Amino acid sequence: MTHDRIGVRKTHKLFIGGAFPRSESGRTYEVATATGDFWSNASKASRKDARNAVIAARTGFGKWSAATAYNRGQVLYRIAEVMEDRRAQFIDEVMAGEGVDEAAARQQVDAAIDRWVWYAGWTDKIAQALGTANPVAGPYFNFSIPEPSGVVACVAPQASSLLGLVSVIAPVIASGNSVVAMASTERPIPAITLAEVMATSDVPAGVVNLLTGDPAEILPWLASHADVNAVDLTGVTDRDLAISAEREAAGTIKRVLRPAPEADWNADPGMDRLRTFVEIKTVWHPMGL
């Protein structure tokens, strides 16, 4: 005798400090497919959730920034490996969320996986590419050394739910920072699945924190938070919100990356984003006889 199974509905949660909490407010919002059909409910992050994510990111930053560049590269490569295992799921989610056909979704997912490999290869080359030994007059060595900025808050692209998200957060953590990222509001499901990948990919707790919800509610507070060192406004589509966030960030002299809603995420990523959230420290040392 057979029985119809009751569907096991998934409750999509936030990703903070390596765990999957519900929003402290208890709020959720409906996520629809590209065709307008109900898809799922996602947690709607509050300011308190964002504060918890910043605390987790600051905690995670210490261990991550102290890790060797080689170790960070291994972790990023592991993310690519786990994503490859869940490739079919990502393809289905990109198709449903973005309304593209299977070939286009496959291309985006493969590009996202390859992007992790790209940045994994850069982790132990950043110092050589961005640092230098400077010629000086006198018996001294003078070195310029890139160091991570700290905690970076970012709004991921709204249209490119997976490839755009990876293109934003991968260079941030490849260069030794930790991140609090707001996923695409209307297409958050691939980001939630990516969070599940992070949880099983040797990424230390707190290095990557993913929030779902409304950037207009969370971003101004993140931009003014004294323990956030930089803000990436790449995915902000509201001009007034971007201007407001930049003004808030000025109060604590944050580095700000301005919106790029029309960015081509399929293009060669280059070095630009690796340069964005590093600081150059100059060290003088007496020359031995």
- Tell me the per-residue pLDDT of 37-86, one tens digit each, with 9 for 90 and over: 999 999 999 999 999 999 999 999 999 999 999 999 999 999 999 999 99
* Nearest one of 138, 126, 236, 140 to 181, comparing CA atoms: 236
Is the pLDDT higher at 284 or at 85? Answer: 85
The pLDDT of residue 2: 66
Local confidence band at 32 (pLDDT 50, 70, 90 cut-offs)? very high
Give me the percent of the chain exceeding a pLDDT of 90: 88
CB within 8 Å of 258: residues ≥ 6 apart: 233, 242, 246
How much is the average pLDDT of 15-33? 95
Local confidence band at 262 (pLDDT 50, 70, 90 cut-offs)? confident
Lookup: tokens for 66: 């102290």
Q: What Cα–Cα distance (Å) separates residue 246 from each residue in 156, 162, 254, 255?
A: 16, 25, 9, 9
Query: What is the amino acid identity at position 55?
Result: I
Is the pLDDT higher at 85 or at 261? Answer: 85
Lookup: tokens for 145: 């050394």
pLDDT at position 289 over 60: no
pLDDT digits (tens, 9 = 90+) for 120-139: 999 999 999 999 888 888 88
Cα–Cα distance for residue pair 197/191, rounded to 1 Å:
10
CB 214 within 8 A of CB 44: yes
pLDDT at position 244 over 60: yes
39-286: what fold?
A: Aldehyde Dehydrogenase; Chain A, domain 1 (3.40.605)
Give the predicted TM-score (pTM) of the model.
0.93
Local confidence band at 285 (pLDDT 50, 70, 90 cut-offs)? confident
Domain ranges of the chain: 39-286
CB 193 within 8 A of CB 199: no
Question: How many Cα atoms within 13 Å fall on the side-chain side of residue 110?
Answer: 6
pLDDT at position 7 over 80: no
* Nearest one of 65, 74, 52, 71 to 173, comparing CA atoms: 65
Cα–Cα distance for residue pair 76/241, rounded to 1 Å:
32
The pLDDT of residue 137: 86
Cα–Cα distance for residue pair 179/280, rounded to 1 Å:
20
* Nearest one of 225, 226, 195 to 211, comparing CA atoms: 195
CB 42 within 8 A of CB 28: yes
Local confidence band at 1 (pLDDT 50, 70, 90 cut-offs)? low
Lookup: tokens for 130: 């961005």
Local confidence band at 287 (pLDDT 50, 70, 90 cut-offs)? confident
What is the residue whose two structure tokens read 């934003």?
Answer: 168
Local confidence band at 149 (pLDDT 50, 70, 90 cut-offs)? very high
Which neighbouring-strand residues pair with 131? none
